[in-house]
Amino acid sequence: MSPILFDVSLEVAHKVGGIYTVLKSKTPFFVENYGDNMVLLGPYIPKDAAFEFEDLPYSQLGPAIEKMQSERGVAIHYGRWLVEGNPRVVLFDLMYPAAFTPTIDRYRRILRERFNVGFGEFKDHNAFQWDAFVFGCMVAEFLDYVRREVFTPTNTPDIVVHFHEWLSAVGLLLLKENTRLDPAKYSPPYATCFTTHATVVGRYLCAGNQDFYRAIQYVDADREAGNRGCWTEHAVEKSAARECDVFTTVSEVTATEAQHILGRKPDVVTLNGLPPTNLSLLHHLQLEHQQSKTNITKFIQGHFSGALKDVDPDKVVYMFSAGRYEFINKGIDVTLEALAALNRRLIQEGSDVTVFFFLIFPAKTRNYHVDTLRGMSVQQEILETAEDIGKSVSQQIAEAMTRGREVDTSAFISPKEGVKLRRLAAQMQRSEFPPVVTHQLVDDSNDAILCKIRELGLFNSFGDRVKVIFHPEFVSSASPLFKMDYTDFVRGCHVGCFPSYYEPFGYTPAECMQAGVVSITSNVSGFGRFIEGLEERLQAERPTPADENFWRTTRTGVNVVDREYIPADQTVQRIANTLFQYTQLSRRERVELRSKTERASLNVGWDVVGEKYLEAHELALANVAKRM
């Protein structure tokens, strides 16, 4: 019989963070390898399921689903996840009935006595942790019913259960204990894999501005977890790393971290990947960039209305940073300092280049900024008026020329239209600086980004060559500001800047790479460490001529800045210098660099890096076979 894969995560058909992106993007590769024998296990969240899930009639797993529903009262939904590959999914409603309470109590006792993991009544004040616990209980019960109702010891295929992050790892611990208590039922045992995409303690320490990478070998992870109030998460994570048949993590950086924090060296490094894509023709790639850039420009013209007199539209560069709002971990602090240094240098050198830098980090907001909405409204009216006048002028020219009359250009704009244009021009005037944020924040005075902007004086002054736009929500086509999705926004930019201090992998620079957008990452991110090796290999295959400008020599389009061995002020200067170097490239060089960057992204496709996941599954099955 063909092997079966159960892929388990609290982010199946439910976007919480980056693991959702991993699961969604890798699915086509695994469906290609496992077919319908790949089944994802996740939570049933009605608002997400309405768009991401399709019910199907029960299949081979039907007896287990029906029995668990009738005996435990848990609502279970079987169907397909509506993403590329359309994988089969089993989703559990975490709002369990009274009939499931004895199971909850039994599993809570097992976790406390067997693994020293305490789950009290957290449903009232730590819903996230409680959901992870309940989900793990339901997964363990379901896998138990699969053994009872679907397979027997004589007709059981090889089954791998792959758990992602501590949020699903409760299920792994309970599955292992159930197997220990009833080895006959679980013969042959499930082969288990556990992937940590980041360690809980590591994230806390880096956010606390600790010298994490130099001190990691001396960290008492258990004590730190207790002191920082994350003992339960850490204990689940550490126990899962110890108990699983194969332990994996997403990068060499996190492998070192996991070895020290969790006490086990990962067996396999399972890099994250990107969906395979066909390379664009050069002119298509550039056309897509220009179309997306035009939409960004419309926003700039509205947000900065009346403050673009010293901006040459042919000398504009769009840069951005985006991700989870973690000020230190995501390198937002050094990014802003680098922008201040870049602004000073461009001014000192009399540059006519203007850099517009977007900070896309979701924060709590009240509403859109009034100035932004006003500017966007006036800009839209200007565009509509210009379009109407253009149509009128076209008609006047065509009519005059077809009748053989001389074209009277003075009559092109009517008095009424002239008045309207003067009124709009008056509305565009401003005496104050354009706002640095597009929304009204709930806690403006204490927001880390705004505090740093004030400290550095990045106020979008009329003489500044670097203009900053803090957009505290995800870019979406539903937004009245950008009216484009995130992928198109990335494609319209020139440079992405992500010098993270804590980044187990780092999807944002990888996504830039696939869009042909160059980026900056760090050597303490998993993706950055991967790029260092890739750049070295590509340069060995075909060296590029020496040049002081990094962007003229790179084979990948990704600059990896040092955040491990040099002081922060030197990191800031290197980022600023690398950004400045990009502003010195010609248009032709930028077009060629865009194409080169997109080509290099083929090395990060799931069809390349996904083989490591298959290796981990085979190793887990082999380890189980050795114990039998």
118 secondary structure, DSSP code: -
**What mean pLDDT, rounded, does the chain reach?**
90
Provide CB contacts within 8 A for 345, sequence distance 6+: 576, 580
Q: Out of 36-40, 544-548, 619-623, which region has the weakest mean confidence (pLDDT)?
A: 544-548
- Per DSSP, the three-state class of 257 is helix
∠ Cα 449 451 457 (to 5°):
100
């007896």: which residue's tokens? 63
Q: Strand 246-249's sheet: what is its strand order? A: 53-55, 76-81, 88-92, 38-43, 4-8, 159-164, 191-196, 246-249, 268-269
- Across the range 226-247, mean pLDDT stands at 95
Q: What is the pLDDT of residues 6-44, one digit of tens each?
A: 999 999 999 887 899 999 999 999 999 999 999 999 999
Model confidence pLDDT, tens digit, residues 351-404: 999 999 999 999 999 988 877 767 666 666 666 666 666 676 677 666 666 666
- Amino acid 408: pLDDT: 59
> Given pLDDT bands bounded at 50, 70 and 90, which one contains residue 296?
very high
The pLDDT score that the predictor gives to residue 398 is 65
pLDDT tens digits, one per residue of 482-524: 889 999 999 999 999 999 999 999 999 999 999 999 999 999 9
Are 509 and 319 a contacting pair, CB within 8 Å? Answer: no
Across 529-551, average pLDDT:
92
**Residue 55 forms beta bridges with which residues?**
79
Structure tokens at 602: 């083929």
Asked if 358 and 469 touch (Cβ cutoff 8 Å), the reply is yes
pLDDT in tens, 21-30: 999 999 999 9
Question: pTM for the whole thing?
Answer: 0.87
Per-residue pLDDT tens for 251-283?
999 999 999 999 999 999 999 999 877 777 767
The DSSP secondary structure of 370-387, one letter per residue, reads HHHHHHHHHHHHHHHHHH
Read off the tokens for 518. Answer: 């160059």
